[in-house]
Structure 1
Amino acid sequence: MIYYALAIFVVLLDQISKYVVSHAMNVGDNIPIIPNVFYITSLRNSGAAWSILEGRMLFFYIISIVVLVVVIYYMQKLGRFKPLLGTSLGLIIGGTLGNFIDRLLHGQVVDFIHVYIGSYSYPIFNLADSALCIGAVLLLIYSIVDSKKEK
């Protein structure tokens, strides 16, 4: 199914990028791509976004497994028949698996995308995080469009 292929693509791209960053850079190294806007910065995170719940690996294992079970259930039930929903769920599966693999194998997540919005340094993230966010936004759009169709 195409949406599971999307999830696999996200996991592969995420894991390859994290491998390259973790083997080519030391933690804290910083490569400017667009000065004052976009950098590759090697960082490790044992928590969630913005390092919240740092070191709570059991919690993240459980949450990841629950999310995967629920999302795969909805993929099988509805997502495979609805392109926007299937795409959003595929991205969520891929992003969840990408970070789950890091936590399981290394006890932490490799983050490296560092963006500045004006003078604000946005918390450093990775491709799995991006897939999760894009998947969540698409899921929200799907929910809004679907609820309007029902009315």
Structure 2
Amino acid sequence: MPLRRSGLAWWPLGAVMLVLDQVTKAVISHSMALHESIRVLPVLDIVHARNTGAAFSFLASAGGWQRWAFTVFALLVTAVILWTLRRMRAQGQYLQGAGLMLIASGAVGNAIDRIRHGYVVDFVAAHWGNAYFPAFNVADSCITVGAGCILLDALRQWRRERQVARGRVP
């Protein structure tokens, strides 16, 4: 199936998000000291943080093996996603295609950091008073939004199937 008719037609979205992720991390790394924080809004700071673990610093103090485990996992997930996108049709599956490509670009963005530095650069810190949500980056946002797109697509498909089963074809 040609690229423009497969789910790989979403590659420009993935490329743009990967570049945005890497550029923002480089800007933060080169312009802010480690742990420096700049208040942007009453509930949002820009920080320079390094995460050797996964989401929410899971396994951050595991001793170093997690760097390669998370890298291999991210690259395997990306390979499966690209294979899935290659096999799927571009038309009619916009949310699923965009969601999968966002997840792949986020996984690759964080894998690049782990390979190059041994950690992931995080820089967005949301908080309410003294309660802070773990810092994150563009790649993390891509993974989260991508998962949301896939869930929304699944919900839409489920609703369509229910309507068909009830004799109300959309």
Scaled by the length of structure 1, the TM-score of the pair is 0.93
More moved, 5-14 vs 81-90: 81-90
What RMSD in Å do the two structures reach over aligned CA positions? 1.4
Identity of aligned residues (%): 35
Task: Give the match for residue 51 of structure 1.
Answer: 57
**Which amino acid counterpart does residue 144 of structure 2 have in structure 1?**
C
Check 1:79–1:106 CA distance in 2 against 1; reply closer, same or farther (3 A cut): farther
* Alpha-carbon distance between aligned partners in 1 of 2:72 and 2:137, rounded to the nearest angstrom: 21
User: Which residue of the other structure, out of 28, 34, 40, is the alignment partner of 1:27?
Assistant: 34
Q: Runs of 5+ in structure 2 lacking a partner?
A: 163-170
2:86 alignment counterpart = 76
Please give the TM-score of this superposition, normalised by the length of structure 2: 0.83
Larger Rg belongs to: 2
Equivalent in the alignment of 1:6 = 13
Task: Tell me the SS of whatever aligns to 2:45.
Answer: strand
Structure 1 consecutive aligned stretches of length 4 or more whose deviation exceeds 3 Å: none
Structure 1: gaps of 5 or more residues: none
SS of corresponding position for 1:80: coil
Once the two structures are overlaid, the 10-residue window that deviates more, 79-88 or 14-23, is 79-88
CA distance in 2, matches of 1:23, 1:95: 21
Contact 2:75 2:108 in 1 (8 A): no
**Aligned length in residues:** 150
Q: Distance in 2 between matches of 1:141 and 1:121?
A: 27
Match of 2:115 in 1: 104
- Tell me the amino acid that sits aligned with residue 115 of structure 1: A
